[in-house]
Homo-oligomer: A and B are copies of this chain.
Amino acid sequence: MTQSGTEAAPKAKPRRGRPPSTSLNQTLILDTALAIVESEGPDALTLRRLGADLGANHTAVLRHFSGKDEILLGLAERLIQEAMDGFVPAESWRQTLESLARRVRAACLAHPQVAVLVATRVSRRGAEFHGADVVIGALREAGFADRDAARYYRSLVDTAMALSAYEAAFAALDSQSQEGDRMAWRREYLAVSPAQYPNLAAVAPFLAEADADDQFETTLALILDAVAARAITLRPAT
């Protein structure tokens, strides 16, 4: 928001002079913030910690970002770029869609705190337009008319984003709550009363061994199966 707007920025710095070169700048701050979140989790990212790692007072950071929220938005921008970075369309439309869904998820899980933020306020910028164009292109290639392509685009993107944010939100919990929830699956679901919840009790052992990666792939396969099935009915002879 403070940089690279398409319109005139209200508080734009002069672009002419040399940057301070000593001390802090936005890029350095974001690099450091990212390193903290990745190595020690979202809770470790405090202004005081950021200042310490930067070798500066913790309030010096506020000279470059208007607040902590602004730092998170800066990280969000990086997340979208990371998801699309180096992407090339695959041979089939289905593989292209799978690849994009996995990229979005991977980026979200790599930066869960940021992902939770991005999921709600989607920035309508270059990287997002590019992704949308690729997804819609894949659906049109599959044979869908524009109206259906738009519908399934929304379904695919919303689901991929929602599931990724959902997983990221769990990963963004403090490790205590996280472990408590994980334990709950193993212990309390396994200990459920077979008389009261017969179906749940029967399959509980399989629930306990659930793996997040497999789970995402299962859901992705379900949706793309359905989309592929509808595509086939459009041109049965292909």
Question: Are A133 and B197 interface neighbours, CB within 8 A?
Answer: yes
Q: How far is the CA of A134 from the CA of B126 in the complex (A)?
A: 44
Question: Are B210 and A150 interface neighbours, CB within 8 A?
Answer: yes
Nearest neighbor of A208 in chain B, beta-carbon distance: B150
- Min CB gap A157→B, angstroms: 10
Question: Are A218 and B184 interface neighbours, CB within 8 A?
Answer: no
Q: A170 an interface residue at 8 Å Cβ cutoff?
A: yes
Residues on B with beta carbons closer than 8 Å to the beta carbon of A133: 196-200
Q: How far is the CA of A200 from the CA of B137 in the complex (A)?
A: 8
Q: Mark A164-191, 1 if CB is under 8 A from B, else 0.
A: 0110011001001100110011001101
- Tell me the number of copies of this protein: 2
- Min CB gap A51→B, angstroms: 22
A147-B206 contact, Cβ under 8 Å, with A132-B197, A200-B136, A226-B225: yes
Q: How far is the CA of A6 from the CA of B219 in the complex (A)?
A: 33
Q: Mark A141-172, 1 if CB is under 8 A from B, else 0.
A: 00000110111111100110111011001100
A218's contact among B134, B151, B177, by CB below 8 Å, is which?
A: B151
A155-B226 contact, Cβ under 8 Å, with A133-B198, A150-B203, A181-B122: no
- Min CB gap A96→B, angstroms: 12
Nearest neighbor of A137 in chain B, beta-carbon distance: B199
A184-B150 contact, Cβ under 8 Å, with A136-B199, A158-B163, A218-B155: no
Nearest neighbor of A214 in chain B, beta-carbon distance: B151
